[in-house]
Structure 1
Amino acid sequence: MPDDYPVAINEEGIKIKTEKMAPEKLYHCVFEGKVYLFYKDDMELLHCYEVEDPDAASEIERNPADIENILKKRAGI
């Protein structure tokens, strides 16, 4: 991930810099075999979701630029 990406992983776990997040934009990371999704809404509330499917995590890790299509495919949309 680029240095300016608002989600980072370090020895303490997942770190989120909400001040760097654009509203209504999806951000993600893969941590301990799970995909974590984050977005900040127009009210400045942070939303977080966990995807436990290891196949989805692996596919997203291989092709992060296609995350939205991967999630739609896995959800049957």
Structure 2
Amino acid sequence: MEYYNIGKDNYLNIIKIIEIMTYPLISEKEGIKIKFEIMKSETLYHCIFQNKVMLVYKDHNEILNCYEIEEEEIVSKVRLSKNTDIEKILEEYIR
């Protein structure tokens, strides 16, 4: 087996591609693509589309629920945060 040095930039691009392939929401210029079949029930997913945080989850009856948050402060926090911090930001917003 041969090994190749792919470099840091290529590695980061590969990680982004893997995330896109496995995350059920993709925000594009034309709209949001939802991969319903890979969504886990009762799991909250998010993306940013047209300066709004879009929240999507599939409930236990497999019904898709969608919400949007337009508050600039929340959108900015989500945009600048790591995925692990976003859940905390959204929990604080709900309270």
TM-score, reference length from structure 2: 0.73
Could you list the runs of 4 or more consecutive aligned residues of structure 1 that deviate by over 2 angstroms after TM superposition? none
Question: What SS class does the counterpart of residue 53 from structure 2 fall into?
Answer: strand
Q: Distance in 1 between matches of 2:66 and 2:75?
A: 16
Question: What SS class does the counterpart of residue 67 from structure 2 fall into?
Answer: strand
1:1-77 correspondence runs (5 A): 2-3=19-20, 4-63=22-81, 64-76=83-95
Structure 2, unmatched stretches of 5+, are 1-15
Which position in structure 1 is the counterpart of 2:9? none
More strand by share: 1
Q: Which has the larger radius of gyration?
A: 2
The number of equivalent residue pairs is: 76
Identity of aligned residues (%): 45
Deviation at 1:32, TM superposition (A): 1.3
Q: Distance in 1 between matches of 2:24 and 2:40?
A: 9
Structure 1, unmatched stretches of 5+, are none
Deviation at 1:66, TM superposition (A): 1.4
More helix by share: 2
| Larger RCO (CA within 8 A; separation ≥ 6) | 1
TM-score, reference length from structure 1: 0.88
